[in-house]
């Protein structure tokens, strides 16, 4: 599941970019759209609750962008699970135990797998 906090920040960044592109201040924009200034500030900062769909629709209409514009290019940071982190630490510990020539061979094998993944 996506991290909602990251998504709120992403939406806020998109909103701010649109506002600045139009050369609007927050005060002017909120006055034009009849949105409370503090509420809009929270939107741009990605703070508090998730943005209301009605508000996003109003903003999408105002900026003449599709509603999904706010979600485009959103890629959440992949935070490793606790299990992944433990596994990575174990692998790194084992890798450090290898002799230099074995480390080089291991790196070559991993790169070979990476190139196969990219090719498929």
Residues 6, 77 contacting (CB under 8 angstroms): yes
Confidence of residue 65 (pLDDT cuts 50, 70, 90): very high
Give the residue range(s) of CATH 1.10.260.40 domains in the chain: 4-70
With a cut of 90, say whether residue 118 has pLDDT above it.
no
CATH superfamily of 4-70: lambda repressor-like DNA-binding domains (1.10.260.40)
Distance (Å, rounded) from C-alpha 56 to C-alpha 25? 18
The residue among 117 and 12 whose pLDDT is bigger is 12
Average pLDDT over residues 73-77: 75
Distance (Å, rounded) from C-alpha 34 to C-alpha 57? 14
With 0.75 as the threshold, say if the pTM is over it: no
With a cut of 90, say whether residue 82 has pLDDT above it.
no
């Amino acid at each position: 599941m996506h991290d909602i906090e990251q998504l709120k920040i992403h939406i806020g960044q998109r909103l701010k970019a649109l506002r600045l592109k139009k050369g609007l201040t927050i005060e002017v924009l909120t006055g034009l759209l009849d949105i409370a200034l503090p509420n809009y500030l929270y939107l741009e900062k990605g703070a508090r609750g998730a943005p209301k769909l009605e508000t996003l629709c109003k903003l999408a209409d105002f900026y003449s962008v599709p509603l999904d514009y706010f979600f485009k290019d959103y890629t959440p940071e992949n935070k490793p699970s606790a299990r992944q982190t433990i596994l990575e630490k174990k692998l790194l510990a084992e890798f450090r135990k290898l002799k230099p020539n074995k480390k080089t061979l291991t790196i070559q094998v991993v790169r070979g797998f990476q190139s196969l993944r990219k090719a498929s």
